[in-house]
Amino acid sequence: MINATVIYVLWLREMKRFGRAKSRVIGSLAMPLFFLAFMGMGFNRMAVPGLGRDVNYIQFLVPGILGMSLLFSSTFGGLSVLWDREFGFLKEIMVAPVHRVSIVLGRIAGGMTTALIQGLMILGISIVLGFRVRSLTSLALALAAMLLIASSFLGLGLIFASLMKDIQGFSLIMNFVIFPLFFLSGALYPLENMPKVIRLLSLADPLTYGIDGLRGFLLGQSTRPPAVDIAIMAGISVFMVLAAAYAFEKSKSL
């Protein structure tokens, strides 16, 4: 059912597209860089309640910005499906004698790799701005968490892309989805400072667990044990990938 060659070909295609689109790389770094430079440096000397012991605002912010970058780049990965449909490439691969699950996995593999590259670039910029990684082990665990975040929201983006035909409509709908997920996750501020209703809503946000896990690995401070966050994200990732494969398989618009 799953064809490794198809997965590899679609992954390689995404890598080539990413390498050739210099403006895409620069654009993906612009917003995180602005957040890090202006919010990080602006609030770094302020006493923000809930940051934890020996943690300044830049250290607190970096995992949140990594999560934000993964959220935006991964969710909008579904946009490539709509572009491929627009230019006829999707029709060509859909009539090929391969299972659609392989097509979904190939797209998710490519999107995860590009999202991870962007995350590593942001992490490198963060180190220049004063962020410090605890150890190579914590970095490796953080990379695993980043992959789970990317796969989860790539699955979400593919679900919406499978259900929609209009590129502009997809962008508008995804903005309505992305920003509540981002602000409820505690990426920019400690959730302990928010009203109880917001804290309860944040528990339904997958990004909350991803960012909390990143903080646990990179800073050694998190609301839940990082292993719990990773286990929850792994479950969400599997569910999203399976749901994306199902939506892709059943979508009549493709």
pLDDT, mean of each 10-residue run, the chain (254 residues): 74 78 70 76 62 74 88 78 66 64 80 86 83 84 91 87 75 82 86 85 91 89 88 92 81 56
Q: What is the pLDDT at residue 207?
A: 92
Q: Please count the structural domains in the chain.
A: 1
Q: Do residues 32 and 65 lie in contact, with contact meaning Cβ atoms separated by under 8 Å?
A: yes
Residues of the domain holding 181:
4-250
Two tokens, residue 179? 């920003």
Q: What is the pLDDT at residue 235?
A: 94
Q: What is the pLDDT at residue 40?
A: 67
pTM: 0.85
Give residue 242's region: left, alpha or beta (phi > 0; psi -120 to 50): alpha
Q: What is the pLDDT at residue 24?
A: 66
Q: What is the pLDDT at residue 236?
A: 93
Task: Count CB neighbours of 47 within 10 A.
Answer: 8
Smallest CA-to-CA distance from 18 within 126, 132, 113, 143 is with: 113
DSSP annotation of 35: I
Q: What is the pLDDT at residue 126?
A: 84
